[in-house]
Structure 1
């Protein structure tokens, strides 16, 4: 082969080089848990203060914006990303409670006319709200069962949330304001636990000066 032929051959890329795929390095999917937990905690914290009657607040309409944007939308988005991360438990929890906050906020939107449909019949409205709350009590009980082999932080979160729903439901069925205030107090505790669990998930060892324990539970060995 002449020198010219060798030079031309060297200019033609090899088959391997011609078909080489230039891949962009894959980015690690972030943990959506802190977003979901902080969104839940913040909205629950505000509403629970209202339920507890702090500073004389009895009308919870100010929480509607939080229910729609933070407790609802942000938590629902966190749930969808949990599906992408392969965490079915987290996806179910965040998506469901995101739906809860969207549905709860809609009760107080005048355009929806949900509360107005009862025409001032407070007894019927309280019974309807009691059924609504007891349904979420049952769902939260199921989530508590699902959290039993995860960590103590999540167990405490779902236990206090379940207790909150139960007390609020009883307060509606019995028209007992004091029970509702007790539900608000437990709800504040639930929100603080959610803040703690969210912060524990946010403070990863590779990027933080310290980490927070969640109370590890031994995994099942088959």
Structure 2
């Protein structure tokens, strides 16, 4: 019996970076940075980086037996794909609300954001055993969806901007977490502080997986 260990690359930094820079761009438009009120430039980035890159990171996480990471990256990848697609004029999704049904668009967007607030709220407790940064990232993401939902229903510009700032905080946390995981000992001597949640204490069942996941690079064993 010969046992070989094959180290698989960790897709988590890719997923976090794709989430962070796409969502950061979107929220900078949300708060009208430098007077920008038309944020349609995000369409291409939403479909490619936020959508495709996150979706692929999710698929690779599934291959690494990471159900939580695979599910979260994949579902948020589909968000950005859907958001980008529905803002393409030729597909007539948002533009179909012109005319007599124009007053329905804010409520339709409010319900759309409510669905993502729901799924994010369900994800958040699942990260109680992760790092403080990751958990905080999801809490601020929840706030972003909640405020964007409320802003759509009420038409409050101030609430919309609060949602945008909440999203910006979430993106900054995602960039930091992604960098913490990317900076492994074989890449750089730089190590960033990465405090863990109190619930993340090791149990007997976790010991073996923690050893395999040293420096954030899962290892898969093959027997021959």
TM-score by length of 1: 0.85
1:221 CA drift (Å): 3.8
Unaligned runs of 5+ in 1: 1-22
Q: Is 1:219 paired with 2:198?
A: no
Considering Cα pairs closer than 8 Å and 6+ residues apart, tell me whether 1 or 2 has the greater RCO: 2
Correspondence for 1:165 among 131, 145, 170: 145
**Please, which of 49, 54, 74 is the counterpart of residue 75 of structure 1?**
54
Equivalent position of 1:43 in the other structure: 22
Residue deviations 1:106-139, cap 9 Å, x none?
1210121001221243321000000000110111
Return the index of the structure with the highest Cα Rg: 1
Runs of 4+ in 1 over 2 A off after TM superposition: 119-123, 217-222
Count of equivalent residues? 199
Task: Report the CA distance between 1:26 and its aligned residue.
Answer: 6.0
Output the CA distance in 1 between the equivalents of 2:57 and 2:179: 15
CA distance in 1: counterparts of 2:54 and 2:47, whole angstroms? 10
**Equivalent position to 1:206, from 163, 186, 210:** 186
* Structure 2, unaligned runs of 5 or more: 205-224
Provide closer, same or farther for how the CA distance between residues 89 and 126 of structure 1 changes in structure 2, counting only shifts above 3 A. same
* Cα-to-partner distance string for 1:171-206 (whole Å, 9 max, x where unaligned): 000011111111111111111111001001100123
Offset at residue 219 of structure 1 (A): 2.8
More strand as a share of residues: 2
- Deviation, 1:159, is 0.4
- Verify: 1:130 aligned to 2:127, yes or no: no
